[in-house]
Chains A and B, each alone.
Chain A
């Protein structure tokens, strides 16, 4: 398009950009220092099959482990969110073996007993907190495992809400826990059994199944285009933002 620089998903690299060495699985490549790890791989010529997903930090496909050459410290991150550094030594962990049990959401109580029966290894947590340090989403992983052991299922669920199930925690655990599946079970139990069910939703489903709205909906399918537009413009009362506080009700209740 005229006058606009559009390069799809290929990064623009200005001429004066500093080039730095990175080591992809030990192999040296010179890449612009402005790129994310993900785009640096592509710049080097790699075609992703595994290890690439949403490219926006929410899918957990691009879990990456790296060191800076000469430094003992191990770092963790998402390749799509982390910018390269000079002398980075990189490896992807596109898959890590996990344990998963049947998550019987319908018939399990949200208790410590449930969690321990399903994942007894959580009792072997040594409290080293390595899981937490490996989490690219800054989740307090060890804390949610402790919550599961104590039977505070809701806390386990809430602490783990941002989990993208990338598996970095699991790759680091000396107790061999698959943390993210523990959290997954806890969240489902919380959604289904700790949180109160929505009564109004149950009522609405019953109304729909009894065919309450069929007549109106059929009308909408069949009326003329003009009539449809007229109803759209003239008959939709706008629910105000503070409707809950003021107990708002629409004047036209024909279609409720």
Chain B
């Protein structure tokens, strides 16, 4: 029995018709022809949302005033603070600590661990639960050049090529040289890496790697890393105080321009806390939940660019912040799963992409941005998209090819999480294809920082997806889990060294007042406040009946 409705079954029949021939072709080593560099450029300029007219606008305030940012991010940058600085008596902090870590994902947790191990008193403040982050959603793996035929040199080259050679080279040098140290650290903490019986790491290729250096734990590598790090933070509860459901809403500076803490907001009691800290580590993650251009996303509920907004108000410039990674293969059917990630591994295992007529139209392993643009072109200009019962467009990802190429049972073995996700809706992806469309996946850019995770404000560090420069304009698979750990650890270590013998002067929120003034002078009229904190999925019909402006934590 098929989980697909009759209207989709007709198109599936056309896919089935061409399947055997495609499998034979793949076995012969033939593929759909990859695009030339010029063809790539053309399809990107016409069909990738980043390059399309109307998707960006100039931001009129802040350190990057005059630059283009995606509309949805620009909205948040041109918004009011959630607080009125005059309401706060900064002479009386509620909490004093050495290091404040903002964010409870992989970057924040590793930063907290390192700072604690260096003897610091740490507060880890997080918007949701500790561990609620994109880290847990990373499926594929983590890169580290630890095999004899590989070295950080090649990892560096691969990473630069993937990022269109725009990455910060010093940062990538740190990333790739720390990678084996990270893998070794995780191993000692007790992460269950996929290994051979003699202890050797199992490694695979990822898109754009010249050597096999993708380490994994099944198809839930990020989840395993997060579990281990969270457990280690709990082991260190004497020095790390975890505050859940307490997002930061503004940074605090001192009268000498150093970062000196943050204002936290208790989502449940609606209290604001003044936290004075000698150093602050920003590890709030990415911006996928802004749903650029209305696209769905693969991200965690909390991915709302909070750290970008706070640091920008305090004066930190942004790097490649206009670059959004759209993952080519997000779910389009069933409606319940729209936007969820289907890992690159499916294409790596041999599945091809097909239009409504069962025809191939793109090489399956183009870079993510190019692949996404080709799918959008097929569905729009060429009119060859499949229409779902709810009116969405998509193309087929022919997963049944995998068992035909690699042997019966491969889909279940290699993609257990995906298999379960679809079988819950009556679709056996080893027998029927998946309907997909691009989905917002990753924030390529972010806060300016250096190779030791330092920003331009003394005492403010940046780690993980919130940072820019690590990946240039396009990230390779397996480099994000690595990024969060390398720069989380570096931030924790840098901060612990920085705070030695440091005495803060008076706390101030002057930067917030100054920013408000800039908004007024730029003639921006809005009742929007930021950071956003929680995405808003309430229906308009319900909203029309909500007559108060405040509803739980979210201001409307």
Interface pair A256/B149, CB less than 8 Å apart: yes
Task: Judge if B553 is at the interface, Cβ distance under 8 Å.
Answer: yes
Q: Which one of A103, A204, A213, A238 contacts B153 once the chains associate, using CB atoms below 8 Å?
A: A213
Interface string of A204-241 (1 = CB under 8 A from B): 11001100010011101100010011011001111101
Q: Are the C-beta atoms of A221 and B421 separated by less than 8 Å?
A: no
The complex places the Cα of A197 from the Cα of B201 at a distance, in Å, of 9
| Given A9-B291, A100-B234, A53:B301 Cβ within 8 A | yes
Which residues of B are found within 8 Å of A47, using beta-carbon distances?
Answer: 534, 536, 538, 551-554
How many residues does chain B have at the interface if contact means C-beta atoms less than 8 Å apart?
105
Question: At the interface, yes or no: A2 with Cβ under 8 Å from chain B?
Answer: yes
Inter-chain CA distance A34–B227, complex, in Å, is 32
Query: What's the minimum C-beta distance from A70 to chain B, rounded to whole angstroms?
Result: 25
Nearest Cβ distance between residue A107 and chain B, in whole angstroms?
Answer: 12
* Cβ–Cβ contact B199 & A197, under 8 A: yes
A30 / chain B contacts, CB cutoff of 8 Å: none
A-chain residues with CB within 8 Å of residue B294 when the two chains form the complex: 1, 6-8
Question: Which residues of A48-73 are within 8 A (CB) of B?
Answer: 48-50, 52-59, 61
Using CB atoms and an 8 Å cutoff, list the residues of chain A in contact with chain B: 1-14, 34-36, 39, 42-45, 47-50, 52-59, 61, 81, 83, 100, 102-103, 105-106, 157, 161-165, 184, 187-193, 195-202, 204-205, 208-209, 213, 216-218, 220-221, 225, 228-229, 231-232, 235-239, 241, 243, 248-250, 255-256
- The digit string for B424-457, where 1 denotes a CB below 8 A from any CB of A, is 1100000000000100000000000000000000
A-B CB proximity, top 5 nearest: A188-B190, A196-B199, A6-B294, A8-B291, A192-B190
B19-27, B274-282, B388-396, B522-530: which one contacts chain A? B388-396
Q: Which residues of A contact B145 (CB under 8 A)?
A: 204
CB pair A202 B338 closer than 8 Å: no
Roughly how many angstroms separate A188 CA and B18 CA in the complex, as a whole number?
47
Q: Are A10 and B132 in contact (CB under 8 A)?
A: no
- B156 and A217 within 8 A (CB): yes
Is A187 touching B192 in the complex (CB atoms < 8 A)?
Answer: yes
Q: Which of B200, B295, B390 contacts A8 (CB 8 A)?
A: B295
- Given A12-B390, A47-B534, A3 contacting B380 (CB threshold 8 A): yes
A8 to chain B, nearest CB (A): 4
Give the interface SS of chain B, mostly helix, strand, loop or mixed: loop
Report Cα–Cα, A57/B223, bound state, in Å.
Answer: 11
Instruction: Answer yes or no: B511 CB below 8 A from chain A CBs.
Output: no
Q: Taking each of B190, B379, B551, which has the highest tally of chain A beta carbons within 10 Å of its own beta carbon?
A: B190
B146 near A198 (CB under 8 angstroms)?
Answer: yes
Closest A residue to B162 using CB positions: A232
Question: Are A220 and B157 touching (Cβ within 8 A)?
Answer: yes
* Contacts A/B (CB < 8 Å), 12 sampled: A1-B376, A4-B379, A49-B552, A157-B192, A184-B231, A192-B189, A196-B197, A197-B199, A220-B156, A231-B157, A237-B210, A239-B150
For B202-214 the 0/1 string (1 means CB < 8 A from A) is 0001000011100
